[in-house]
A = this chain, B = another copy of it.
Amino acid sequence: MSAIDYLKKAVEYDMNGRKLESLKLYQSGISALLEICKTETNPEKKLHFQRKIDEYMTRAEQIKATITEQRSRGEIIDKIHIIANGTGYGYERIFGKYLNDSVKEISLEEPYLREYYQLINLVRFCELVVLKCRNLKFLNVTTVAIPTGTNQHNDQKAAFQALTNDLKSRNITFSIDFSEQLHDRQIILSNGYIIKIGRGLHYFLPADKFCLGQYNFDFRKCKETNIDIFYCPENKTS
Protein backbone atom coordinates (compact mmCIF):
# COMPACT_ATOMS: atom_id res chain seq x y z
CA MET A 1 0.00 0.00 0.00
CA SER A 2 1.14 3.58 -0.67
CA ALA A 3 1.45 6.32 1.95
CA ILE A 4 -1.82 7.85 0.74
CA ASP A 5 -3.65 4.50 0.92
CA TYR A 6 -2.44 3.95 4.48
CA LEU A 7 -3.42 7.41 5.61
CA LYS A 8 -6.80 7.46 3.88
CA LYS A 9 -7.66 4.19 5.57
CA ALA A 10 -6.26 5.46 8.89
CA VAL A 11 -8.58 8.49 8.79
CA GLU A 12 -11.54 6.33 7.77
CA TYR A 13 -11.00 3.84 10.62
CA ASP A 14 -10.29 6.69 13.05
CA MET A 15 -13.73 8.14 12.21
CA ASN A 16 -15.39 4.74 12.60
CA GLY A 17 -13.92 4.16 16.04
CA ARG A 18 -11.52 1.40 14.98
CA LYS A 19 -8.77 3.06 17.00
CA LEU A 20 -6.24 0.22 17.25
CA GLU A 21 -6.11 -0.47 13.54
CA SER A 22 -6.22 3.24 12.71
CA LEU A 23 -3.15 3.83 14.90
CA LYS A 24 -1.27 1.08 13.05
CA LEU A 25 -2.23 2.61 9.71
CA TYR A 26 -1.19 6.13 10.77
CA GLN A 27 2.20 4.70 11.80
CA SER A 28 2.67 2.86 8.49
CA GLY A 29 1.52 5.92 6.50
CA ILE A 30 3.85 8.26 8.39
CA SER A 31 6.83 5.92 7.75
CA ALA A 32 6.02 5.78 4.04
CA LEU A 33 5.58 9.57 3.90
CA LEU A 34 8.96 10.10 5.64
CA GLU A 35 10.63 8.03 2.90
CA ILE A 36 8.99 10.13 0.18
CA CYS A 37 9.90 13.35 1.98
CA LYS A 38 13.58 12.33 2.23
CA THR A 39 13.95 11.94 -1.53
CA GLU A 40 11.80 14.95 -2.47
CA THR A 41 13.92 17.74 -4.00
CA ASN A 42 11.21 20.37 -4.64
CA PRO A 43 11.33 22.57 -1.44
CA GLU A 44 7.67 23.50 -1.63
CA LYS A 45 6.52 19.89 -1.90
CA LYS A 46 8.97 18.86 0.85
CA LEU A 47 7.46 21.46 3.21
CA HIS A 48 3.96 20.23 2.37
CA PHE A 49 4.96 16.63 3.21
CA GLN A 50 6.60 17.73 6.46
CA ARG A 51 3.43 19.54 7.52
CA LYS A 52 1.32 16.51 6.70
CA ILE A 53 3.70 14.27 8.66
CA ASP A 54 3.44 16.57 11.71
CA GLU A 55 -0.32 16.61 11.42
CA TYR A 56 -0.68 12.82 11.26
CA MET A 57 1.90 12.32 14.02
CA THR A 58 -0.09 14.59 16.31
CA ARG A 59 -3.24 12.60 15.61
CA ALA A 60 -1.46 9.28 16.11
CA GLU A 61 -0.04 10.50 19.44
CA GLN A 62 -3.52 11.59 20.52
CA ILE A 63 -4.97 8.16 19.74
CA LYS A 64 -2.11 6.43 21.54
CA ALA A 65 -2.61 8.65 24.63
CA THR A 66 -6.36 7.96 24.59
CA ILE A 67 -5.82 4.20 24.36
CA THR A 68 -3.23 4.23 27.16
CA GLU A 69 -5.40 6.37 29.41
CA GLN A 70 -8.50 4.27 28.81
CA ARG A 71 -6.67 1.09 29.69
CA SER A 72 -5.93 2.37 33.17
CA ARG A 73 -9.56 3.18 33.87
CA GLY A 74 -12.57 0.99 34.45
CA GLU A 75 -14.17 -0.66 37.41
CA ILE A 76 -13.74 -4.29 38.45
CA ILE A 77 -16.95 -6.10 37.60
CA ASP A 78 -15.82 -9.66 38.25
CA LYS A 79 -13.06 -11.47 40.09
CA ILE A 80 -12.30 -15.16 39.61
CA HIS A 81 -9.85 -17.08 41.71
CA ILE A 82 -8.70 -20.37 40.21
CA ILE A 83 -7.27 -22.73 42.80
CA ALA A 84 -4.42 -25.10 41.99
CA ASN A 85 -5.71 -28.20 40.13
CA GLY A 86 -9.16 -26.66 39.68
CA THR A 87 -11.06 -27.61 36.52
CA GLY A 88 -13.85 -26.04 34.48
CA TYR A 89 -11.96 -22.90 33.49
CA GLY A 90 -11.61 -23.00 29.70
CA TYR A 91 -11.32 -19.60 28.00
CA GLU A 92 -14.98 -19.61 27.00
CA ARG A 93 -16.18 -20.10 30.56
CA ILE A 94 -13.83 -17.41 31.86
CA PHE A 95 -14.36 -14.61 29.38
CA GLY A 96 -16.65 -15.98 26.63
CA LYS A 97 -19.57 -13.86 27.78
CA TYR A 98 -17.69 -10.63 27.01
CA LEU A 99 -16.94 -11.72 23.45
CA ASN A 100 -19.81 -10.73 21.20
CA ASP A 101 -20.72 -8.88 18.04
CA SER A 102 -19.93 -5.50 19.60
CA VAL A 103 -16.20 -6.36 19.60
CA LYS A 104 -14.46 -5.02 16.49
CA GLU A 105 -10.90 -4.86 17.78
CA ILE A 106 -8.91 -6.86 20.31
CA SER A 107 -5.53 -6.21 21.80
CA LEU A 108 -3.82 -9.15 23.48
CA GLU A 109 -0.79 -8.51 25.66
CA GLU A 110 0.91 -11.80 26.38
CA PRO A 111 4.67 -11.80 27.04
CA TYR A 112 5.17 -15.54 26.55
CA LEU A 113 4.44 -16.90 23.11
CA ARG A 114 7.51 -19.05 22.57
CA GLU A 115 6.90 -22.63 23.70
CA TYR A 116 4.77 -24.82 21.45
CA TYR A 117 1.96 -25.10 24.02
CA GLN A 118 1.92 -21.30 24.36
CA LEU A 119 1.49 -20.86 20.60
CA ILE A 120 -1.27 -23.45 20.72
CA ASN A 121 -3.01 -21.43 23.42
CA LEU A 122 -2.86 -18.44 21.08
CA VAL A 123 -4.46 -20.50 18.28
CA ARG A 124 -7.21 -21.59 20.67
CA PHE A 125 -7.71 -17.99 21.77
CA CYS A 126 -8.05 -16.95 18.12
CA GLU A 127 -10.55 -19.75 17.45
CA LEU A 128 -12.72 -18.54 20.32
CA VAL A 129 -12.69 -14.82 19.47
CA VAL A 130 -13.37 -15.47 15.77
CA LEU A 131 -16.30 -17.70 16.67
CA LYS A 132 -17.86 -15.30 19.16
CA CYS A 133 -17.01 -11.84 17.76
CA ARG A 134 -18.55 -11.92 14.31
CA ASN A 135 -17.62 -8.29 13.58
CA LEU A 136 -13.99 -8.62 14.58
CA LYS A 137 -11.73 -6.74 12.17
CA PHE A 138 -8.43 -6.34 13.99
CA LEU A 139 -6.45 -8.44 16.43
CA ASN A 140 -3.18 -7.11 17.78
CA VAL A 141 -0.79 -9.23 19.80
CA THR A 142 2.00 -7.70 21.86
CA THR A 143 4.65 -10.13 23.05
CA VAL A 144 8.34 -10.45 23.88
CA ALA A 145 10.59 -11.17 20.89
CA ILE A 146 12.69 -14.33 20.73
CA PRO A 147 16.33 -14.28 19.51
CA THR A 148 16.52 -15.25 15.84
CA GLY A 149 18.10 -18.56 14.84
CA THR A 150 16.44 -20.53 17.63
CA ASN A 151 13.75 -23.20 17.16
CA GLN A 152 11.42 -21.16 19.32
CA HIS A 153 11.88 -18.20 17.00
CA ASN A 154 11.06 -20.34 13.97
CA ASP A 155 7.97 -21.80 15.63
CA GLN A 156 6.77 -18.36 16.69
CA LYS A 157 7.33 -17.00 13.18
CA ALA A 158 5.48 -19.95 11.62
CA ALA A 159 2.55 -19.53 14.00
CA PHE A 160 2.26 -15.79 13.44
CA GLN A 161 2.47 -16.28 9.67
CA ALA A 162 -0.17 -19.04 9.65
CA LEU A 163 -2.51 -16.96 11.82
CA THR A 164 -1.96 -13.84 9.68
CA ASN A 165 -2.95 -15.74 6.52
CA ASP A 166 -5.82 -17.60 8.13
CA LEU A 167 -7.33 -14.49 9.73
CA LYS A 168 -6.81 -12.46 6.54
CA SER A 169 -9.05 -14.97 4.74
CA ARG A 170 -11.71 -14.10 7.34
CA ASN A 171 -11.22 -10.33 6.80
CA ILE A 172 -9.42 -9.88 10.09
CA THR A 173 -6.09 -8.07 10.26
CA PHE A 174 -3.65 -9.80 12.60
CA SER A 175 -0.72 -7.67 13.73
CA ILE A 176 2.20 -8.26 16.07
CA ASP A 177 4.14 -5.84 18.24
CA PHE A 178 7.29 -6.88 20.02
CA SER A 179 8.09 -5.27 23.35
CA GLU A 180 10.87 -6.01 25.81
CA GLN A 181 9.17 -4.21 28.69
CA LEU A 182 5.93 -6.17 28.59
CA HIS A 183 4.89 -7.54 31.96
CA ASP A 184 1.12 -7.12 32.20
CA ARG A 185 -1.04 -9.78 30.67
CA GLN A 186 -4.35 -8.51 29.45
CA ILE A 187 -7.00 -8.83 26.80
CA ILE A 188 -8.50 -5.51 25.79
CA LEU A 189 -11.79 -5.62 23.94
CA SER A 190 -13.12 -2.65 22.00
CA ASN A 191 -16.51 -3.02 23.72
CA GLY A 192 -15.03 -1.67 26.95
CA TYR A 193 -14.02 -4.87 28.74
CA ILE A 194 -10.51 -5.68 29.89
CA ILE A 195 -9.65 -9.20 31.06
CA LYS A 196 -6.57 -9.46 33.24
CA ILE A 197 -5.36 -12.98 33.96
CA GLY A 198 -2.41 -13.32 36.33
CA ARG A 199 -0.83 -16.06 34.23
CA GLY A 200 -2.09 -14.75 30.88
CA LEU A 201 -3.29 -17.45 28.50
CA HIS A 202 -1.12 -20.09 30.12
CA TYR A 203 -2.82 -21.20 33.32
CA PHE A 204 -3.43 -24.84 32.30
CA LEU A 205 -1.53 -27.93 33.41
CA PRO A 206 -0.72 -30.49 30.72
CA ALA A 207 -3.21 -33.36 30.20
CA ASP A 208 -2.23 -37.02 29.91
CA LYS A 209 -2.30 -38.54 26.43
CA PHE A 210 -5.74 -39.81 25.34
CA CYS A 211 -7.34 -38.40 28.50
CA LEU A 212 -10.20 -35.96 28.77
CA GLY A 213 -8.82 -32.43 28.73
CA GLN A 214 -6.47 -33.09 25.85
CA TYR A 215 -8.80 -31.03 23.62
CA ASN A 216 -11.51 -29.55 25.78
CA PHE A 217 -9.78 -27.31 28.30
CA ASP A 218 -12.77 -27.35 30.65
CA PHE A 219 -11.40 -30.74 31.73
CA ARG A 220 -7.84 -29.44 32.19
CA LYS A 221 -6.43 -28.96 35.63
CA CYS A 222 -5.30 -25.37 36.16
CA LYS A 223 -2.46 -23.60 37.89
CA GLU A 224 -3.48 -21.19 40.63
CA THR A 225 -4.26 -17.76 39.21
CA ASN A 226 -6.46 -14.69 39.62
CA ILE A 227 -8.63 -13.11 36.97
CA ASP A 228 -10.00 -9.58 37.14
CA ILE A 229 -12.53 -8.30 34.64
CA PHE A 230 -12.77 -4.53 34.24
CA TYR A 231 -15.41 -2.55 32.44
CA CYS A 232 -15.50 1.09 31.50
CA PRO A 233 -18.14 2.37 29.08
CA GLU A 234 -15.73 5.16 28.08
CA ASN A 235 -13.21 2.55 26.97
CA LYS A 236 -15.49 1.61 24.14
CA THR A 237 -13.71 2.37 20.92
CA SER A 238 -16.06 0.51 18.64
Contacts and interface: CB of A to CB of B under 8 A. Distances in A.
Contacts of A127: 212-216, 219
A214 B210 CA distance: 16
Interface in A145-199: 158-159, 162-163, 165-167, 170
A4 interface: no
Interface in A186-238: 208-216, 218-219
Given A119-B210, A123-B211, A210-B123, A216 B131 contact: yes
A212 B158 contact: no
Contacts of A166: 208, 211-212
Interface in A104-149: 119-120, 123-124, 126-128, 130-131
A162 to B, nearest CB: 4
- When all copies of this chain in the complex are counted, the total is 2
Interface residues on A, range: 20 to 34
A119 to B, nearest CB: 6
A163 B211 contact: yes
Given A131-B216, A215-B215, A216-B131, A162 B208 contact: yes
A208 B124 CA distance: 14
A165 B165 CA distance: 41
A123 B162 contact: no
28 contacts: A119-B210, A120-B215, A123-B210, A123-B211, A123-B212, A123-B215, A124-B215, A124-B216, A126-B212, A127-B213, A127-B214, A127-B215, A130-B212, A130-B219, A131-B216, A131-B218, A131-B219, A158-B210, A159-B210, A162-B208, A162-B209, A162-B210, A165-B211, A166-B208, A166-B212, A167-B212, A170-B212, A215-B215
